Structure 1
Amino acid sequence: MNSTLPAVVSARISPRGGLDVLSRMEVQRLRDASTGGLHDLLRRCALAVLTSGSESDDPRAAMERYPNFDIQVMQQDRGIKLELTDAPATAFVDGRIIHGVAELLFSVVRDIAYVATDIEGSDAFDLDSSDGITAAVFEILRNARVLRPDVEPNMVVCWGGHSIKRHEYEYTKLVGYQLGLRGLDICTGCGPGAMKGPMKGATIAHAKQRRYHNFYIGITEPGIIAAESPNPIVNHLVIMPDIEKRLEAFVRLGHGIIVFPGGVGTAEEILYLLGILLHPKNRDLPFPMILTGPRESAAYFEQIDQFLQLTLGEAAAQRYRIIVDDPAEVARQMARGMEQVRLHRLENKDAFFFNWSLQVPLSFQQPFVPSHENMARLHLHRDVPVHDLAADLRRAFSGIVAGNVKEEGMRAIEQHGPFRIDGEPAIMRALDALLRAFVAQGRMKMSGDYHPCYQVVASP
């Protein structure tokens, strides 16, 4: 036997985390390995859960390491079981799967089956309309049982990089600890780095406060989960169909957002949220947004702030606060912001568990395919409403993320060369400077050497 091969385990496991039954059609589709079937998607997402803690950002790495891994959904008289073949042994203890890993595995099955049959495979939702997309986001979150009607606003969404520096990661834990002391729950993108740190800090604080039934929600999507496996603290995993629905889930479910240092993906999230908050219909809607990091990361936020003020103007700067090296103050400001959210929801008779009042334009909801043609079609000029400019800036960053992290994006760059991004000279110079700073600071963690996936082409 080759001693370099990773240890594997085959097992059959029973439902955990609330999923007990599936219809025959759902089981059939999950077992379908043909083109258009769900088995390949299930296999990739399941392997990501089973390899939680992987250091690689290459979505192809896990499949190469465990080429014989397979998962099958078995329909039985008393419900379903999952049959795992050649699964990573690290997900097991003495031959038994770790309880939390099993829960997340069944979350994967639940969401893939539900989205395919009840959302995308149903006529119940008009996914070409804004209201229809929001309704679909609501139903996916409700099916995942993360909407809590009996809890006042306390859900803090934390964004930031998955490959941040050690001192930045330690800072996220300190902020999470302060949030936990104040009884706040955490929602992140479910991966490592700034997505894990706040949860880790909050678990200690929640334990010290003897607070039970805590929510550590991880929201991801199929193109990201393989590169950013769920961290072990996540106890509620939700897989949205695409990036746009994932982002909408964050802002509908969360009551405030904290942004830690990150790279292009974090910049995309900032632009998404600011673009929505700058929409005229959201002008008076309270939504606390704090950018924070340790003292050593101050320059990072200065660069972000300068870019946002240059491109989106002073109105954008009014919607966020920058707090450097003060975890307790971050938590205090977030708790105060939660109270404003609570009062506004009561006054407007809006739900605590889902932000129905927030206006999310269709341009922010429609999936953006970062093809070379679509990237070249972006209109990055200040002659449009500020929220529209934010939408196209976000798409530009989305394409850059795809070209560096996602398998299909990496393949497109390999075949057709770098994306060409066009726009107003001042904006493009600022964008180029920001991206180069990210590269210089090592804020795009790659499996190999970094090769830029974009080419800035400024209009004359």
Structure 2
Amino acid sequence: MTGVRMPEDLIDAQISPPGQLDILSKYEINKLTDDSRGPQYQLFRNCSLAVLNCGNYMDDGKELLEKYADFDISVIPTERAVKLSVKNAPASAFVDGKMIRGIAEHLFAVLRDIIYVSSEITGDPRYDLVSPQGVTDAVFHILRNAGTFEQSRHPRLVVCWGGHSISREEYDYTKKVGYELALRHLDICTGCGPGAMKGPMKGATIGHAKQRVRDGQYLGITEPGIIAAEAPNPIVNELVIMPDIEKRLEAFVRTGHGVLVFPGGAGTAEEILYLLGILLQEENREQPFPLIFTGPASAAEYFIRIDQFIASTLGDAARSRYQIIIDDPVEVARQMAIGVEKVQEYRKATGDAYYFNWQLKISPEFQRPFAPTHKNMRELALHTNQAPHLLAANLRRAFSGIVSGNVKDEGIREVEKHGCYELHGEKQLMHSMDILLRSFVEQHRMKLPGKVYNPCYRIISGETA
């Protein structure tokens, strides 16, 4: 893992796999080598660059790719494994010319997921990526291939959602919650980036250390479009890159045994709507799934706005599926531990796996990849004259498009070329969305602190349905 320092803090290096992909057949080595410059190369390159940029937080995928335009990565075959050759890589990924081990692990996770899994899943007719079961099977296979499952482990994985752009007070609060969760022998899964995705993991490291937990799981789940804007934080010890945002969200709810939501922006709203939409489906009514919204006292206004938006769009049935606990990390951890115990009892009684929630019903509306083009955003069915879970699915797509326009390379370029996305819908619903989004902007939740936010969307109200 040694490197040569280049001008302007850039480094050229060759890296060997630190425990991952270190025993491969010649067929697998040749396949990785052949595919590394194939159609997936640009995706592989961009995700690898994001991993190497760990710690240099920026929330603009286009900015990262332009800053390191000369970065290059390639696969070098050896007799029993593979090496990676990087050129013009960020020097922050190295210490005294050697790549940081955690970053090297993440880099080989990119190789595993982007090249190997894409060729085995996307190009394999055995996986029907149109049918709900086919998509779920693909999600399972990707997670299993990444080594995230352990059959003997009882339910203890808490998914933590929240924004990358949060205040110091909110960040410190996420650490306190993570600490309390770990004291109760619970593990952490996040979107793997900074802010509310890093804080719970950081706090949990101390809680696990105190309880002498040596196999703590810090699972980070991301996808190619978002990784450049939210590079994996260094605490993540298992990184998985799903093919798209929909499979990323499904991976969260299939592997997690409960979800905590910290303050965030459009991406956090997307995640909330995704989960609530699934829980509103009749088939999932009896399934326990602890969901808690929490933050410090200063974040109370944020959750008031979120709660009001859910009430005005999805109704009381959706509100009944979550708790709001403000400024009480101990109570949050207690309630989550109680909820996870109920999940274990339910899985045991129904014969479902502890490590993957097969019984959760997820409709195609939540699995089908959504491309946030101007046409698709404009034609979203944003009205209340539909089943609540379908409305949640369409609202989720609207917020997903806003995330794309805010931080993803292709979304930023789309908005630069064609102007703001237009969101059309029922008058009262669009008014509620406008209020929520304005509150995100006023609370500086759309971009990292110090950056000016230029909206990538425009709300256009229609007549009341």
Task: Indicate whether the TM-score tops 0.5.
Answer: yes
- Does the 8 Å contact 2:62/2:412 carry over to 1? no
1-structure distance, mates of 2:200, 2:144: 24
Kindly state the Cα deviation for residue 5 of structure 1 after the two structures are TM-superposed. 5.8
Kindly state the Cα deviation for residue 103 of structure 1 after the two structures are TM-superposed. 0.7
Deviates more, 1:376-385 or 1:256-265: 376-385
2-structure distance, mates of 1:11, 1:419: 42
- Does the 8 Å contact 2:32/2:75 carry over to 1? no
2-structure distance, mates of 1:159, 1:46: 23
2-structure distance, mates of 1:349, 1:357: 10
Amino acid corresponding to residue 244 of structure 2 in structure 1: D
2:219 to 210, 217, 220: 217
Amino acid corresponding to residue 258 of structure 2 in structure 1: G
- Does the 8 Å contact 1:160/1:195 carry over to 2? yes
1-structure distance, mates of 2:298, 2:452: 25
Aligned to 2:17: 15
Deviations 1:159-190 (A, max 9, x none): 00001111000000000000010000100000
2:65 to 57, 63, 85: 63
Aligned to 2:457: 454
- Counterpart mapping for 1:330-369 below 5 A: 330-369=332-371
Amino acid corresponding to residue 335 of structure 2 in structure 1: Q
Aligned to 1:92: 94
Deviations 1:356-412 (A, max 9, x none): 010000100000001111111111111111100100011111111111111111111
Aligned to 1:408: 410
- Does the 8 Å contact 1:91/1:97 carry over to 2? yes
- Does the 8 Å contact 2:57/2:231 carry over to 1? no
2-structure distance, mates of 1:94, 1:448: 32
Tell me how large the CA RMSD over aligned residues is. 1.4
SS at match of 1:60: helix
Give unmatched runs, 5+ long, in structure 2.
1-5
1:28 to 30, 34, 39: 34
SS at match of 2:270: helix
- Does the 8 Å contact 1:17/1:104 carry over to 2? no
Deviations 1:140-165 (A, max 9, x none): 00000001111111000000000111
Aligned to 2:150: 148
2-structure distance, mates of 1:265, 1:441: 15
1:262 to 254, 261, 264: 264
1-structure distance, mates of 2:92, 2:409: 25
SS at match of 1:450: coil
- Does the 8 Å contact 1:6/1:88 carry over to 2? no
- Counterpart mapping for 1:123-134 below 5 A: 123-134=125-136
Kindly state the Cα deviation for residue 225 of structure 1 after the two structures are TM-superposed. 0.4
Kindly state the Cα deviation for residue 53 of structure 1 after the two structures are TM-superposed. 1.2
2-structure distance, mates of 1:231, 1:92: 15
Matched, 1:188 2:190: yes
Structure 1 residues 67 and 454: alpha-carbon distance in aligned structure 2, compared to 1, 3 A threshold: closer
SS at match of 2:8: coil
Aligned to 2:44: 42
Matched, 1:304 2:306: yes
1-structure distance, mates of 2:444, 2:8: 29
**How many residue pairs end up in the alignment?**
454
2:290 to 280, 288, 303: 288
For normalisation by structure 1, the TM-score amounts to 0.96
2-structure distance, mates of 1:77, 1:335: 48
Deviations 1:106-132 (A, max 9, x none): 101000123321110110100011000
Kindly state the Cα deviation for residue 451 of structure 1 after the two structures are TM-superposed. 1.7
- Does the 8 Å contact 1:159/1:257 carry over to 2? yes
Kindly state the Cα deviation for residue 94 of structure 1 after the two structures are TM-superposed. 1.4
Amino acid corresponding to residue 282 of structure 2 in structure 1: P
Deviations 1:244-283 (A, max 9, x none): 0000000000000000000010000000000000000000
SS at match of 1:436: helix
Deviates more, 1:373-382 or 1:62-71: 62-71
1-structure distance, mates of 2:51, 2:398: 29
SS at match of 2:61: coil
SS at match of 1:31: coil
Amino acid corresponding to residue 331 of structure 1 in structure 2: A
Identity of aligned residues (%): 58
1-structure distance, mates of 2:409, 2:115: 23
2-structure distance, mates of 1:81, 1:309: 53
For normalisation by structure 2, the TM-score amounts to 0.95
- Does the 8 Å contact 1:17/1:107 carry over to 2? no
Aligned to 2:210: 208
1:175 to 169, 177, 180: 177
Amino acid corresponding to residue 58 of structure 1 in structure 2: D
Matched, 1:319 2:312: no
Aligned to 1:199: 201
Deviations 1:196-245 (A, max 9, x none): 00000000110111110111010000000011110010010000000000
2-structure distance, mates of 1:78, 1:24: 11
2-structure distance, mates of 1:177, 1:443: 24
2-structure distance, mates of 1:93, 1:396: 42
Deviations 1:84-103 (A, max 9, x none): 22222211111111111111
1-structure distance, mates of 2:129, 2:231: 28
Kindly state the Cα deviation for residue 66 of structure 1 after the two structures are TM-superposed. 2.6
2-structure distance, mates of 1:363, 1:23: 37
Give unmatched runs, 5+ long, in structure 1.
none
2-structure distance, mates of 1:434, 1:416: 25
Deviations 1:291-317 (A, max 9, x none): 000000001000100110110000001
- Does the 8 Å contact 1:173/1:199 carry over to 2? yes
Moved over 4 A (4+): none
Aligned to 2:3: none
Amino acid corresponding to residue 372 of structure 1 in structure 2: H
- Does the 8 Å contact 1:26/1:117 carry over to 2? no
Aligned to 2:242: 240
Deviates more, 1:66-75 or 1:13-22: 13-22
Amino acid corresponding to residue 28 of structure 1 in structure 2: D
